[in-house]
Amino acid sequence: MANNLIHLALTEDIGTGDVTSNACVPADRRATGVFLAREQLVLAGTEVLAEIYDDLELNHCDGDALAANTVIATVQGTARDFLKYERTALNFLQRLSGVATLARQFAEAVAHTNCQILDTRKTTPGFRQLEKSAAACGGVTNHRMGLYDAILIKNNHISAAGGVTEAITAARTSAMPIEIEVRTESELDEALAANADHLLLDNLTPEEAKQWIAKINKRAKVELSGGITLDTVAAYAETGADFVSVGAITHSARAVDISFKLDLA
């Protein structure tokens, strides 16, 4: 999947050819290229560099915390190729390292608790495998990859199934662990009575979450979600929740500052 995505990105950018480089740069001119972290970051996406460049020397691995002005990798080849691939390579590296960097910040914010940070399916279409890999490099736990590998009954499933008990009872036929979102205390009571394995509590305050978790009393795993930020995640983790899920790790991560410098060989 990643290979297909890289090919698509290169085709999108290069099209019928890099007319600027072809016009200005001799075809046989050799060069050295350096990828440089321009700010503090957590590295991710080096697998993309390995797919694009034949002669690649990596100085660091995915998951490494890098200081500003750290050389990430060096490549050897023709100047035309480097100019042709530069923007695509940086787009991947900056985006994925941004995801890993934000993930690390969330993981560190709850390191004093027993709570794990989960990512979500709120990913860039087509980038899910790469973005979830980057999130894991940052130190968070991957939630389900898609609709096919875990059961998560949300509010619209409950409505469509006819209720909490009906949804859980029907889902039991799958033999998979069952996670269900509950929105009210009555739904919480019903889910516990139906022996749900994993409860998703959405849009509660930390104080409300603490009260609900005390009521659950370890009868099910508890996940909190809903607008949780770096400023508030520690308070949610300290409620006794097993998990906090954060969509922002993949849908709102900032592309970090990485540059590519070409020098003639």
Residues 6+ apart with CB under 8 A from 61: 43, 46
Residue 202 among the catalytic residues: yes
Q: Which of 131, 181, 187, 223 is catalytic?
A: 181
Q: Is 215 an active-site residue?
A: no
Does residue 168 contact residue 188 with C-beta atoms inside 8 Å? no
Cα dihedral sign for 163, 165, 169, 171? positive
Distance (Å, rounded) from C-alpha 239 to C-alpha 113?
9
- On the 0-12 / 13-18 / 19+ scale of CB atoms within 10 A, 97 is buried
The Cα 73–Cα 92 span in angstroms is 14
Q: How far is CA 45 from CA 48, 63, 134, 143, in A?
A: 6, 10, 7, 20
Which residue in 202, 208, 238, 257 is the catalytic one?
202
Question: Choosing from 144, 154, 219, 221, which is the catalytic residue?
Answer: 154
Residues 121, 122, 144, 221: which is the catalytic one? 122
144 is catalytic: no
Q: Per the residue annotation, which of 39, 51, 87, 197 is the catalytic one?
A: 87
* Cβ neighbours of 134 (radius 10 Å): 31
Q: Pairing relation of β-strands 258-264 and 30-37? A: antiparallel
Q: Give the active site residues.
A: 87, 122, 154, 181, 202
